[in-house]
Amino acid sequence: MKIRQLTAEFVAAYLKIDREDLDEAKRKELLTFLDAAKRYVLSETGLTAEEADEKDDLTVAVLILCQDMYDNRTRYLSSSGSKPSDTLDSILGFYRCNLL
């Protein structure tokens, strides 16, 4: 699945939110998380949206971020609180092309 194909309904299913619990407010919240997660992945990798769509594992990174934002309302950080978790950092690291 490509990043651009992700919907609030797909994210809700990933988060195990029952369909009947997906009201308009929760749907908007998930869309906000989805947009933020996409922007974070693109910012961290330096890839265009089209390039990122070709990397299926970046879809997983977007979903991981959405889950963390939903569960904790925080940025996906390691226990040190200063950098992304090792899992997320590894996935994004495969595609970073904006390092100086």
pTM of the entire structure? 0.75
Q: What angle do CA 33, 70, 39 make, to 5 degrees?
A: 25
What confidence tens digit (pLDDT) does each residue in 70-100 have?
A: 887 545 455 555 666 776 777 778 788 876 5
What confidence tens digit (pLDDT) does each residue in 4-62 have?
A: 999 999 999 999 999 899 999 999 999 999 998 999 899 889 999 999 999 999 999 99
Supply 8's token pair. Answer: 């609030």
CB atoms within 10 A of CB 64: 19
